[in-house]
Amino acid sequence: MLSVFFSYSHEDETLRNQLEQQLAILSRQQVITTWHDRRITAGEVIDHAISGNLEAADIILLLVSPAFLASDYCYDREMLRAMERHEAGKAVVIPVILRPCEWHRTPFGKILATPTDGKPVTQWPDRDTAFLEVARAIRAAAEKLQRTVQPRSTPVPTPLEVKSLPEGATNWAPRSSNLRIAKTFTERDRDAFQHETFNYIARFFEASLVELQARNKGIEGAFRRIDANRFSAAIYLDGRAIARCTVFMGGAHFASGIAYSADETNDSNSFNENLNVEADEQMLYLKAMGMAFRRSVDEKLSQEGAAELYWGMLIEPLQRR
């Protein structure tokens, strides 16, 4: 099996866990084995353990984010050494762009990044789809390495021979890479995520209307924040209203999440689509009721995906012209 090393900031640990889930099938199929600093056990010297596994890795994943670029340890110690090994042909570096940041002019900026086109994972409507792209890229790299690299021989120790271990691998023993445990999300967590998402959608709409107006002659956008739980948006072509909507929280019955109404209204009882907060064992996400028939009801939407869904509903009349 090929060894995969995760270089990442602890601020991105949740995203790393989600990626590791996607890579589980590669581990089951004995294509790769993964390592990151959460595998360090009591009694090990942390720097030695990280350095030893970095030096032994066949594939090094750089989980790129603003926090990664700001970390002296990630950037100066792990990334720079990873690039030295990459350029010497001793390892393959794969940048995985987690969150938007200025990564193109870094030492690894010349390497083809994943997901596709280097689009940050957090900007994909469905993060599972983004991490699937990453997993496929890692599988392709692993299969290429397996074709070109000689298998490592593992000599059988004689009774008088003591097998040496990599530097930092003290107290080593084989163990499972499946060490994730299910997370529990409280009602407070869900409520906070819903409010954060609503505010994200509001900012998304306001900025998108400004940009739409700047790019298209005769188009005007109007955004109005009515209160903490409601905003409206309208698009005009040569002064004539082409599209309107209201997005709100706190509706009755089925609209208990974040609802979309294809009109400017103060009514909270009617709507065209609704997003509810749900959770799996690792993260909170948004799920559409499917009333607009624009996405699968099984799709797990990020905040970006939720905003794109509602923006697509607003701008659709202009795209049919």
**Global pTM value:** 0.59
Check pLDDT > 90 for residue 95: yes
Please indicate whether residue 202 or residue 166 has the higher confidence score (pLDDT).
202
Please indicate whether residue 293 or residue 226 has the higher confidence score (pLDDT).
226
| Domain 2-148 CATH superfamily | Toll/interleukin-1 receptor homology (TIR) domain (3.40.50.10140)
Please indicate whether residue 142 or residue 147 has the higher confidence score (pLDDT).
142
Which tokens in the block code for residue 48? 């030695």
Place 294 in a pLDDT band, splitting at 50, 70 and 90: low
Dist. CA 259–CA 201, nearest whole Å: 11
Determine the pLDDT at residue 169.
Answer: 47
Distance separating the N- and C-terminal Cα atoms of the chain: 55
Determine the pLDDT at residue 132.
Answer: 94
Dist. CA 108–CA 38, nearest whole Å: 24
Provide the strand spans (E) within the chain: 2-7, 32-35, 59-64, 92-97, 219-227, 230-237, 240-249, 258-261, 273-279, 284-288
Determine the pLDDT at residue 175.
Answer: 58
| Mean pLDDT, residues 68-96 taken together | 95
Determine the pLDDT at residue 156.
Answer: 46
- DSSP for 46-69, please give it: HHHHHHHHHHH-SEEEEEESHHHH
List the chain domain ranges. Answer: 2-148, 187-319
| Whether 201 contacts 312, CB under 8 Å | no
Number of residues in the chain: 321
Place 133 in a pLDDT band, splitting at 50, 70 and 90: very high
Q: If you ran DSSP here, which 8-state letter would residue 107 be given?
A: T
